[in-house]
Homo-oligomer: A and B are copies of this chain.
Amino acid sequence: MNMLKQAILQKGVVLSDGVLKVDSFLNHQIDPTLQVDIGNEFAKRFDEVEITKILTIESSGIAPALTTAIQLKVPVVFARKKKSLTLSSNLLTAQVYSFTKKETNEITVSRDFILEGDKVLIIDDFLANGEAALGLASLVEQARATVSGIGIVIEKSFQPGREKLQNAGYRVESLARIASLENNTVRFVEQLVTNN
């Protein structure tokens, strides 16, 4: 994933030891060529896994989930953070605590679109504390479907999200793993390994 890491290094802005702003190419302005590359990479990493559906959460997860779905030729479903008026009452729901916003949101998805027996790839833009991904996985389990894997664009590896997801038995594939944002500098996990 050279294109993604280059974008993070060139266009990402470290706001604090814990916060990386990537709104110029990932989650406010979106670089479509990078998103196609991200979708291709997820499709490759989960190539040998059976996948019938992709589940993500609005809004920033939609772009990487869609480009992955275009490659894998399966539908995408995006969970909502707030109930929609035209959605039926036939909903799967999970509570997701946001450490950034210090609030709990209810995420919902229609039972019509995650079905028993579905093999679901979960895609999201960021992994930090793992709350959103665990909430999405809970929606899948409630529907008696299976989580085929979890694909993350940017993982903050210094936070406990990956460990929580792996302890819950899920396979996690993150395209960029950030070891540290200290001293205003992005350090990738692989970089640290290379430096050893």
Chain A residues with CB under 8 Å of chain B are 15, 19, 21, 23-25, 28-33, 35-36, 58-59, 62-63, 66-67, 69-70, 73-78, 80, 84-87, 100-101, 109-110, 112-113
Contact = CB atoms under 8 A, between A and B. Distances in A.
A150 to B, nearest CB: 19
Given A23-B86, A110-B23, A28 B66 contact: no
Number of identical monomers bound together in the oligomeric complex: 2
A25 B74 CA distance: 11
A107 to B, nearest CB: 12
Contact of A78 (B21, B33, B59, B73): B59
Nearest to A66: B63
Given A24-B113, A86-B23, A30 B76 contact: yes
Report which residue of A15, A21, A62 has the largest number of chain B beta carbons within 10 angstroms of its beta carbon.
A62
